[in-house]
Structure 1
């Protein structure tokens, strides 16, 4: 860490472009059909006077960061634009050199306070720095001709035990021990309005891509699945039976997570769902396949609920509740076993939470605490690549992937941009059905080409084809 470069952030540019879904995606209280994707470019200056640009991208998903039903989707988009502007202004306000992590730490508390003054919760506030920090690290990696994995292993960002809870924890040793894998399992999302079999379709998109769970398995060979539940026990059980009828035909083991999307108000409701699943023979194999339950209780109540002794039968993780850097610590004290990694929440938060898991498991002598890798419809290009690189380096062996299913890959992007990403990452992408898209074979995603110079991207999007964020 002593050798981590101290840099100055000289410029930050904000862009966006529209994304239209090929299939509607229902999660929680919203059915998503279109949404902007935000892009950030940042230029950093190194001590020797040289400079480099870096970039990051993330969908602006409505009704996830703030689930206030009084707000429209456009209200949510403007909230996300606002926190990007707040973060940009904060990061450009101080030209004192600092490490990449130092810039994050320097502005963290004041940015949260500024966002709170505008009525933005911590999860929403974190969206701005999450993109800026990735763009800054990308620029730093490019300036040093290192990959994301190499930069983190050498602690090029200067991550230190900035929080008292870590005591003498050796971040340099922890980071040096992280090793990426050559591929990762893709965990397919089954949304609340997704068709399970062709009989569920009222009309087809007819773009040649899978439109049902059966077709997804046939085309891409998934073994891991994420199943959305809606908080109504009878309806959830009926839908899970339909899903199990398809998954149980697989000749090999399969694995699943249950995502409650904050649809329950207490542990009792979740326990009733778990008991209902266990009571039905048709769901026996499905129950055995479930690895964990994700954020079933509404965020305003989740950390007031003690899950110890709730008898859920599966570990539970937080996702939407993960608003601050300390939330996982609070959740652990309430009986939660894990926390999600999402680049939209900040990759430094993911690294801190991964270090917590390593420390707690070492102290307990058993692997009890863990991180999961979850999607927020990350799109082909910068967004999905940076997310994959992060969760892979953290040692997570499967990742929820849904952006490639609900959106027709890069088909809406300029042909030259599609070609550039395909040439730069031929293991990650393929060309089919009129566009370049994520390649999934045997349920796995190949990741070798992400070990390139920069934060997992050897190609960049066409910023000239985007709109500047005012």
Structure 2
């Protein structure tokens, strides 16, 4: 059920002190702080005039297990903003994101984490509506992000939570508001949002956020205006998903596949994300090699010889030694299967600063090692690089502004790039796919909502053929040409 909440009156000007994104550039220290975005309006600037938000809930067709946690439902945050340009035009924008509490706030119960995130959304609506800064969406994000973080800290204290609300959790909630602002900005000018990342629309070059080495460069240097026609889809094999018929406890009779082989046949898959729990080398080894065997058999039937894997531990490896031993065992057992592993994702703790012993230099000699949960700003990217991580997972759930800034920093540093999911249906998948289709060198996109909660995308599917239903192992991303971020809701979301 969807219900919109509207702020009745405009609050006083929101003023932010300190850096919204306290980034350290790759080897070059970034600025210690930023002033509020801009004061004097120009035609290319926007100002937020109204914000509404709503929640919708869906139950998964089957539980999804990752990192030792099982998820069977989702709450989606939908946000609408209205903006006014410096020359008086008005436009609405829409943003959406799943409140992935089990992933972003794992230290508390799922009910407690979800409750905190929904309360954050209520607070962020008022904070966003109160923002009187005028500029590009990245300018607004620079002011809003520290305000969101302060709201999260205060809310955690007010609710007496045993664990502070993590920055990652805050970013997930904030991402729907940031996406809506980027979407509104593009729609105000009748452009794809990706056409607004040059000096024509942005007041500041990237040196403001990423340091002096980015002087004179804008985001358009690091993202493509035109989306790639198709993007490979990494099919997620959840830690409890059935690989073979013998693994099935209950067969779901809903017209969708039940086993990995059935998914391969239906969607023509060629890229596979293998979820592993870590902590039990024998179980992880068995799962990898069994999946490799089943995939190999299916590819033989289809006469396909090009396919790939990624291994995602969701921090499950107790230490880097565990990862190295497992990789070497897999390489010995299935040399060809090992060569098909494109990268490893977040093998050990997301707390990079507190886990400095688990450096990835040796593992990165075998495969790219990607930071995901530990990546919450470019400062953490710099730390990850110093610890031997060689790739980044870009995620719409961390914010459009931040995803693009991190993409720019990572590209300049020569890092491996991929786009990952948060079981994103509907507009949130469109948002994620837009990033995946425009970041050069991106290895592919994870898109698992079609597996676990397809009903949440049912209204969107007819408008975007080949985006929510996969054929030939690819998502048809060439259709994401705007305006805004490309998501015009099929339901009664836009008002005014």
Match of 1:225 among 268, 272, 282: 272
Q: For residue 233 of structure 2, what is the aligned residue in structure 1?
A: 186
- Structure-2 change in CA distance of 1:4 and 1:199 (3 Å): farther
The alignment partner of 1:126 has SS state of: helix
For structure 1, the residue ranges without an aligned partner over 5 or more in a row are: 362-368, 429-437, 465-470
Q: For residue 98 of structure 1, what is the aligned residue in structure 2?
A: 135
Is the Cα–Cα contact under 8 Å of residues 123 and 324 in structure 1 kept in the other structure? Answer: no
The alignment partner of 2:412 has SS state of: helix
Q: For residue 435 of structure 1, what is the aligned residue in structure 2?
A: none
Alignment root-mean-square deviation, CA: 2.4
How high is the TM-score relative to the length of structure 2?
Answer: 0.82
Q: For residue 416 of structure 2, what is the aligned residue in structure 1?
A: 370
- Structure-2 change in CA distance of 1:298 and 1:175 (3 Å): closer
Q: For residue 197 of structure 1, what is the aligned residue in structure 2?
A: 244
Is the Cα–Cα contact under 8 Å of residues 256 and 289 in structure 1 kept in the other structure? Answer: yes
Q: How far off its partner does 1:109 sit? A: 2.5
| Distance in 2 between residues matched to 1:343 and 1:9, nearest whole Å | 21
| Distance in 2 between residues matched to 1:243 and 1:176, nearest whole Å | 34
How high is the TM-score relative to the length of structure 1?
Answer: 0.87
Q: How far off its partner does 1:198 sit? A: 1.7
Counterpart mapping for 1:24-423 below 5 A: 24-68=63-107, 71-117=108-154, 118=156, 119-152=164-197, 156=201, 158=203, 160-161=205-206, 162-163=208-209, 165-167=211-213, 168=215, 170-171=217-218, 174-175=221-222, 179-231=226-278, 232-249=280-297, 250=299, 251-280=304-333, 283-300=334-351, 301-310=354-363, 313-361=366-414, 369-379=415-425, 381-395=426-440, 396-410=442-456, 418=459, 421-422=460-461
Is the Cα–Cα contact under 8 Å of residues 407 and 439 in structure 2 kept in the other structure? Answer: yes
Is the Cα–Cα contact under 8 Å of residues 339 and 372 in structure 1 kept in the other structure? Answer: yes
| Distance in 2 between residues matched to 1:27 and 1:311, nearest whole Å | 23
Is the Cα–Cα contact under 8 Å of residues 341 and 350 in structure 1 kept in the other structure? Answer: yes
Is the Cα–Cα contact under 8 Å of residues 195 and 211 in structure 1 kept in the other structure? Answer: yes
Is the Cα–Cα contact under 8 Å of residues 51 and 79 in structure 2 kept in the other structure? Answer: yes
- Structure-2 change in CA distance of 1:165 and 1:105 (3 Å): same
Is the Cα–Cα contact under 8 Å of residues 29 and 63 in structure 1 kept in the other structure? Answer: no
Is the Cα–Cα contact under 8 Å of residues 4 and 156 in structure 1 kept in the other structure? Answer: no
| Distance in 2 between residues matched to 1:351 and 1:155, nearest whole Å | 17
- Structure-2 change in CA distance of 1:4 and 1:164 (3 Å): farther
Is the Cα–Cα contact under 8 Å of residues 341 and 374 in structure 1 kept in the other structure? Answer: yes
Per-residue CA deviation, residues 217-274 of structure 1 (Å, 9 max, x unaligned), is: 0000010110011111011111112111111221312111100101123211211211
Per-residue CA deviation, residues 344-378 of structure 1 (Å, 9 max, x unaligned), is: 111222211211123223xxxxxxx1221111100
- Structure-2 change in CA distance of 1:303 and 1:128 (3 Å): farther
The number of aligned residues is: 437
| Distance in 1 between residues matched to 2:461 and 2:315, nearest whole Å | 37
For structure 2, the residue ranges without an aligned partner over 5 or more in a row are: 1-37, 157-163
Q: For residue 446 of structure 1, what is the aligned residue in structure 2?
A: 476
Larger mean CA deviation between 176-185 and 204-213 belongs to: 176-185
| Distance in 2 between residues matched to 1:82 and 1:144, nearest whole Å | 33
